Structure 1
Amino acid sequence: MKTWLRISTLWAMLLIVGCNTANNQQEPEEEVNGEEKQEDSDAEQTSADDDAEQEGKSEGVENNEDFLAVEDEFTKEFLVDTDVEPGFHQMRGKLDGFEMVIPENGIISDLLHDIENDAIETLIYTFNDHSEKKTYNIKLMYYRKYPEKVKQNYLNVFKDEVGFDGEYKYEEANDLEMYHESYEDDGRYGPVLKYFGYLFSKHRNQAISYEFICVCQGGEECSLSLEEEAEMAEKLMYSIRLLEQ
């Protein structure tokens, strides 16, 4: 229970801090010591070069600052293939129970990863689209084995956790039974999209829950489209595979 509370608290703090950081950064400093800030031609040229670089990108998740998954020491421990497709790597959980793709600028924090009793793995990773002023947070909870008779309880509790009171969509894909849905909400700093699913192996008592949250951080400069963001959410979710052990 303590582990669950720690992860959940850090998960909430991650969303709040991320929003605060982005909003603090989006307001440029206009005066220094009472004088208007001057911009020289070099700075203007750098900005123009950055814009040109962004326009040239067409695949993966845009990030005009860096691509850190292969540079971050903790995240690298999860990567099993860095040449899956442009913009994405393949990652595997520490319990060797699941694999999925992760954007090349996705970062897994050691503070937001935990394994309980060698049976339950909680993992959260984040990535940004700086050009669109959006932050993405993905949370996974993998269960090496769950009691089949409490499957419906898992689904009901998950609804409460994600704040949803409707009915799941159901489908079968990738040898999985998939229960999923999505909705938009108004966050403190702008609109929020939530896409979530519970995936059960069709042949083994393995399961994994999936939460995708897209937070708009740019105020009027940022907008969310449920249809467009769902494409990324579904790409990540449909890439999940539960591995035989």
Structure 2
Amino acid sequence: MKTWLRISTLCAVLLIVGCNTANNQQEPEEEVNGEEKQEDSDAKQTSADDDAEQEGKSEGVENNEDFLAVEDEFTKEFLVDTDVEPGFHQMRGKLDGFEMVIPENGIISDLLHATENNDAETVIYTFNNDREKKLYDVQVMYQSHYPEGLEQSYLNVFKRANNFEGEYEYTEVNDLEVYYGSYEDEDEYGPYLKYFGYLFANDRNQAISYTYIAMCQGEEECTFSFEEETEMAEKLMYSIRLLDQ
């Protein structure tokens, strides 16, 4: 797995579970007359209490139910419908160029969102399944306009970016021409699935790329059904709609 993915996923997961891991605790000062200063002892006690509180919170988190999209201030800015179907919301990009569904525990980090000249937008959101020890990373890159006739060039670059040596499959959905592919692999954390697609509007030069990665959380063993993960990847991709500008 590429390092940037692990870093971006970790960053977003930290936002999801609300774990502030800043190392603020200072080293104890030298003893004065055989005794540590009282404030050091108090600091240790405070730190221990904080750790215990965080541990208690973590024990109650399952499938991220305590940290939902509707409760995250930045993610809420993207939500346009919270009653699409059980477990999913409808989200729209900041440039009003696309919509798609997002799992109810999906979190969009402001650190992983960008727009450029009101013509392009990148949205990355993550969600997890603590019960099965899995993480999910979804990235979409929207273009409001691309030069006509460059579809194949975009597809070739996208294929290389995803280290894909096979051939795209093709389908049409939501007035979009969809070129997609996937592959399974394994890294030091366990198996993972990468599913990706490039979607072009039929009647205008709008496009959006989509990348979905399902992976194990860490070194703990996780249950991995590539068929089920592919179904989720396709559900999210096929929900994408490009909007008139």
Structure-1 residue corresponding to 2:198: 198
Distance 1:69 1:227, change over 3 A: same
Q: Structure 1 residue 99 and structure 2 residue 99: aligned?
A: yes
Matching residue within 8, 11, 20 for 1:14? 8
Residue identity in the other structure for 1:13: I
* Residues in 2 aligned to 1:10 and 1:186: alpha-carbon distance in whole angstroms: 16
Distance 1:15 1:188, change over 3 A: farther
* Residues in 1 aligned to 2:96 and 2:226: alpha-carbon distance in whole angstroms: 32
Shift of 1:186: 1.1
Q: Contact between 1:64 and 1:131, CA under 8 Å: does it hold in 2? A: no
Structure-2 residue corresponding to 1:5: none
Residue identity in the other structure for 1:217: Q
CA RMSD, aligned part only? 2.5
1:222 alignment partner, SS class: coil
Shift of 1:9: 8.0
Q: Contact between 2:133 and 2:220, CA under 8 Å: does it hold in 1? A: no
Q: Contact between 2:181 and 2:197, CA under 8 Å: does it hold in 1? A: yes
Q: Contact between 2:12 and 2:125, CA under 8 Å: does it hold in 1? A: no
Q: Contact between 1:138 and 1:212, CA under 8 Å: does it hold in 2? A: yes
Structure-1 residue corresponding to 2:225: 225
1:148-200 deviations in Å (ceiling 9; x for gaps): 22111100000111110110000111100000011111122111110000000
Q: Contact between 1:168 and 1:179, CA under 8 Å: does it hold in 2? A: yes
Structure-2 residue corresponding to 1:87: 87
Q: Structure 1 residue 182 and structure 2 residue 182: aligned?
A: yes
Structure 1 segments unaligned to the other structure (5+ residues): 1-7, 21-46, 55-61
Shift of 1:14: 1.9
Q: Contact between 1:181 and 1:196, CA under 8 Å: does it hold in 2? A: yes
Q: Contact between 1:19 and 1:217, CA under 8 Å: does it hold in 2? A: no
Q: Structure 1 residue 114 and structure 2 residue 114: aligned?
A: yes
Shift of 1:217: 2.3
Structure-1 residue corresponding to 2:33: none
Q: Percent identity?
A: 68
- Bigger radius of gyration, 1 or 2? 2
1:233 alignment partner, SS class: helix
1:148 alignment partner, SS class: coil
Structure-1 residue corresponding to 2:142: 142
Structure-1 residue corresponding to 2:23: none
1:74 alignment partner, SS class: helix
Distance 1:12 1:161, change over 3 A: farther
1:145 alignment partner, SS class: coil
TM-score (norm 1): 0.76
* Residues in 2 aligned to 1:244 and 1:160: alpha-carbon distance in whole angstroms: 30
Structure-2 residue corresponding to 1:127: 127
Structure 2 segments unaligned to the other structure (5+ residues): 15-58
* Residues in 2 aligned to 1:197 and 1:119: alpha-carbon distance in whole angstroms: 20
TM-score (norm 2): 0.76
Shift of 1:10: 5.5
Q: Contact between 1:78 and 1:93, CA under 8 Å: does it hold in 2? A: yes
Residue identity in the other structure for 1:152: Q
